[in-house]
Chains A and B, each alone.
Chain A
Amino acid sequence: MDARVSRRLKVYRAIDSDYRLNILTILHDEPDIAFNNLAKKVGIERGLLAYHVGVLKGVGLIESEYERRSKESTKYRITDEGMKILKEFRLVKSSAKKTEKKE
């Protein structure tokens, strides 16, 4: 199978989920949100959230930073790939075109 097709199928599989699409939009609106706050925003139990962020991380749509010493939990943010997905499916506004900006 062509690598691009394989990648596309993985991404579609990852985002074909209400929870995971919602997580992406939340991370767009609130970058570096802590795990516990993300769980409250999404409205699911923490165990299930751990799985869903695992899937999104697995396909590179989000990334995380875990601070062992800090009292705060892991922080999550959307990647450039994740942003492209949100724009492709019109969950966020695309950037204005350069020509429009010049005018």
Chain B
Amino acid sequence: MIRSLEEARETVRQKRQELQQRVRETCIIAVLLGAEGKGLDNRRKIKEKLEKEGVLALIPEDDFAPDVAPSITEEAVLEKSDVDVIFINVESWGSVTEFGQFHDEERIAPKLRVFVPHEYHPLYGTSIGYLTDLYLTHVVKYGHVYAHDDSERTIFPCSEKIIIKLTLRHKMLVALGKI
């Protein structure tokens, strides 16, 4: 007998919970935002590694339907979707604008994990300016602003290492019911 969508959804939920409890593991959905060019290549590398660890990682440029303008999709995704965590590597004017737009949205900000070049980090860097000041407000209000050095010339880790570490721990905590 064919089930209704509601009944099927309930069965999916039950089976998912049973499997998660049995294996003490889960899957989370992560979105990777950032710049194009080298930034996009970096995100693709990160996505591949996350996928191997059981994470459903999405890159808007590659995975979201091209029929809709990216800015429109992103707003919908960030505000209304069931994504678990959103990583934003602020390394271009586009990603600066994205951060500026969403950093204080109550529904979005708690899911944001912001990556900034170490020299612009409000606590570890030397830069002074509006954007660094915005990062400081975000750190105080929500936490989750991370300094990175993708050239790996300083003690700061590259964004890839931070993203993978954070995502796997996030996944573990969700699996254990602690988030």
Interface positions of A (Cβ within 8 A of B): 1, 5-6, 8-10, 12-18, 21-22, 25, 35-36, 45-55, 57-59, 64, 66, 73-74, 89-93
Contact = CB atoms under 8 A, between A and B. Distances in A.
B25 A9 contact: yes
Contacts of A1: 23, 25, 54
Contacts of A53: 65
Contacts of B8: 21, 89-91
Contacts of B19: 5, 8-9, 12
Interface residues of B, number: 39
Contact of B72 (A46, A55, A64): A46
Nearest to B8: A89
A13 B15 CA distance: 11
B2 A90 contact: yes
B5 A25 contact: yes
Interface stretch (B74-82, B125-133, B135-143): B74-82
Contacts of A89: 3, 8, 11-12
A5 B65 contact: no
Contact of A92 (B2, B16, B29): B2
Given A1-B25, A12-B16, A35-B65, A58 B56 contact: yes
A16 B9 contact: yes
A50 B73 contact: yes
A47 B70 CA distance: 8
Given A12-B15, A91-B5, A5 B25 contact: yes
A49 B72 CA distance: 11
A63 to B, nearest CB: 12
Given A13-B27, A89-B12, A74 B77 contact: no
B63 A57 contact: yes
Nearest to A59: B56
Nearest to B24: A1
A91 B29 CA distance: 24
A13 B19 CA distance: 11
